Structure 1
């Protein structure tokens, strides 16, 4: 009797968590709802070519070497009318344009796990589609799946304090994806799925009122919060290949 491979699915937090998943050789789904993941999914939906890059390295020089545009901070980009970490700044005019995107959480986590067989970007926007892609690839590679909510970073961290600030929106985004992942679910995964299912009917309000959502709204980015809280509006699934994100197809 032939027994098909049943993958294990896990959840790990932040940069340390993604390193653990990468060391295991898992398929990884990075989740940074506000806003790296949502920006990558939206940008790729409009045909943009996005190169993730960690913020502690020289992203501007890297962009120059690629003939790409370095994505600026939200405020600076808004003044120039350029695309930024704000997902709503991308549109059809950015089709086939190259961009280098740095961020403290999502881009950094992507860089840590860039050597693994498959790294996807997931968000609420593409939760069902990225789960389906991970299921397909897991069956093909006989690989386990780890979903990584990136979280935020505390400011003013003192010695011996943790810098990771778990983010509710990333946890709910991870739950939306994990609810569609096939395989053996860890206890942590089961709880995460439960949190999403309990919150699904009030998802937009919860993300509007969460700490990260309030911080963005206070800076004038209400449209970002509304956009990023929408569930399953895109079928676009970014996968990291050749240092940039391509749209996943079953032929990859």
Structure 2
């Protein structure tokens, strides 16, 4: 049976990868560069609190039950001036506000893996900081680390087809983290780290011209692509605690 279990650092794709990592009890790093992970980093930078939630469940009802606001879709949020699944929509006005954020990929994977020893949010923005904290947690807990690039979903998948569409921006984001982790890496993790290392000086160009980058640009969200393509500009590491993301420290997961 396929397994990377004998290695300290692994990489697994999407929802199934998140479930596999959770069942192993690994430290999990969710990577959804465009844009869930980057949005969580931006939200915490602004001082907001975000609760991830699966999109097929009633997010409005859940938000009301915890005294939070349900984040709207991009178009609707733009009309009402609300923050949305876009890192550039969060600012100081949202400090101390509570939000519920649903997405098909990053939020869903976070929900699936919410019971692991520690769940971190990684992106290009905070890759090195995530690796540093994950290494510390690994040393403290003895748990292995699985980095989960979330990928995208095909919109028109037919019956019996896999909907997961691997995306290079998430693979490069995962590789940026894996390249800094100190533990022994699976061959899959080594190749992922190598993809980042060989592309590091072209990251912005590659993300800009990737399928996901072009999709966002064609919808008018060029600033999101620019923002999310920045490497190691943030030291904030979101970590899940009681269903929400807080700024991570070495002891935050157990406080």
- Alpha-carbon distance between aligned partners in 1 of 2:189 and 2:74, rounded to the nearest angstrom: 33
- Alpha-carbon distance between aligned partners in 1 of 2:113 and 2:73, rounded to the nearest angstrom: 24
8 Å CA contact retained: 1:169, 1:207: yes
- Aligned residue for 1:128? 128
Length-normalised TM-score, structure 1: 0.96
User: Alpha-carbon deviation of 1:161?
Assistant: 1.1
User: Alpha-carbon deviation of 1:250?
Assistant: 2.3
User: How big is the alpha-carbon RMSD for the aligned residues of Structure 1 and Structure 2?
Assistant: 1.0
Question: Quick check: 1:56 aligned with 2:42?
Answer: no
- Aligned residue for 1:3? none
Cα 1:7/1:189, change in 2 over 3 Å: closer
When the two structures are aligned, how many residues end up with a matched partner?
A: 247
Structure 2 spans left out of the alignment, 5+ residues: 1-5
- Alpha-carbon distance between aligned partners in 2 of 1:149 and 1:185, rounded to the nearest angstrom: 16
Most deviating of 156-165 and 95-104: 156-165
Length-normalised TM-score, structure 2: 0.95
- Alpha-carbon distance between aligned partners in 2 of 1:92 and 1:131, rounded to the nearest angstrom: 27
- Aligned residue for 1:244? 244
Matching of residues 137-176 of structure 1 within 5 Å: 137-176=137-176
Moved beyond 4 Å, runs of 4+: none
8 Å CA contact retained: 2:7, 2:186: no
Three-state SS of the structure 1 residue aligned to 2:29 is: strand
User: Alpha-carbon deviation of 1:7?
Assistant: 6.7
Three-state SS of the structure 2 residue aligned to 1:114 is: coil
- Alpha-carbon distance between aligned partners in 2 of 1:56 and 1:112, rounded to the nearest angstrom: 13
- Aligned residue for 2:234? 234
Cα 1:163/1:7, change in 2 over 3 Å: closer
Structure 1 spans left out of the alignment, 5+ residues: 1-5
Question: Quick check: 1:114 aligned with 2:114?
Answer: yes
8 Å CA contact retained: 1:7, 1:143: no
Three-state SS of the structure 1 residue aligned to 2:250 is: coil
